[in-house]
Amino acid sequence: MKNLQKKIKYKFIKKKTLKICLTHRSFNKNHNEKLEFLGDSILNFIITKIIYKKFLYKKEGYMTRLRSNLVNKKNLFKIAKNIKLNKYIYLGNCEIKMKGQYKKSILANTLEAIIGGIYLDSRNINTVENTIKYLFLNKKILINKNKKDPKTILQEYLQKYKISLPKYYIYNKKGKDHEKIFTVHCKINNKVTKGKGKNKKKAEQIAAKKALLKLGLHF
């Protein structure tokens, strides 16, 4: 139990809750199916929230596919194997004979039950979110391989919501020719963000990134 709690980065207040999380219906009547139902809903909500914030400029279809890849049984099974969850599950004799501790469905469902159990035990959705981020995102699975630069992301976002496109202009140049520092302003309507860099392009990207952050976009 202690080793498992270290692996999921959460220490249960009520050890009985953790035991129920790990109990398959073949073991006894007080099993984890209800917690699995709860955990499935919480997992979907939190992963959706993370994807929405990180890829707000992406189309719904892209976000749906990404969420599906993260919350499907195959990925749950992979994570369960990574934390060696099979060592901790309570199974009935028949399931043990059938090597139930290695079944994809049992391991995936038990992981969902643990997520539900953490919520019930902590009564804090942020605590559950931290565990999910650690288990599901520590391999940087949400990195966008075709990552776009801040200027492109900003332009796509503004076009999507029919907001005036940004205007970039050099506000200042300081230093000798070989070590100049450019200050660029990014103006969207009446709002301005500043960026500094060793060249105009770098300064524009920094100004665009600050504009994205002001809009509440993280990438």
Length of the chain: 219
Contacts of residue 23, defined as CB under 8 A and 6 or more positions apart, other chains included, come to 30, 31, 32, 89, 90
Task: Report the C-alpha gap between 201 and 204 in whole angstroms.
Answer: 5
Q: Which of 36, 95, 112, 204 is catalytic?
A: 112
Contacts of residue 202, defined as CB under 8 A and 6 or more positions apart, other chains included, come to 182, 195
Q: Which residue type sits at 106?
A: I
Q: Which of 40, 95, 121, 129 is catalytic?
A: 40
121 part of the active site: no
Q: Which two tokens stand for residue 197?
A: 């860099």
Contacts of residue 190, defined as CB under 8 A and 6 or more positions apart, other chains included, come to none
Q: Which two tokens stand for residue 110?
A: 């038990």
177 part of the active site: no
Q: DSSP for 3-27, please give it.
A: HHHHHHT---S-HHHHHHHTB-TTT
Task: Report the C-alpha gap between 181 and 48 in whole angstroms.
Answer: 40
> Does residue 53 sit in helix, strand or coil?
helix
> Does residue 216 sit in helix, strand or coil?
coil
Known catalytic residues are 40, 112
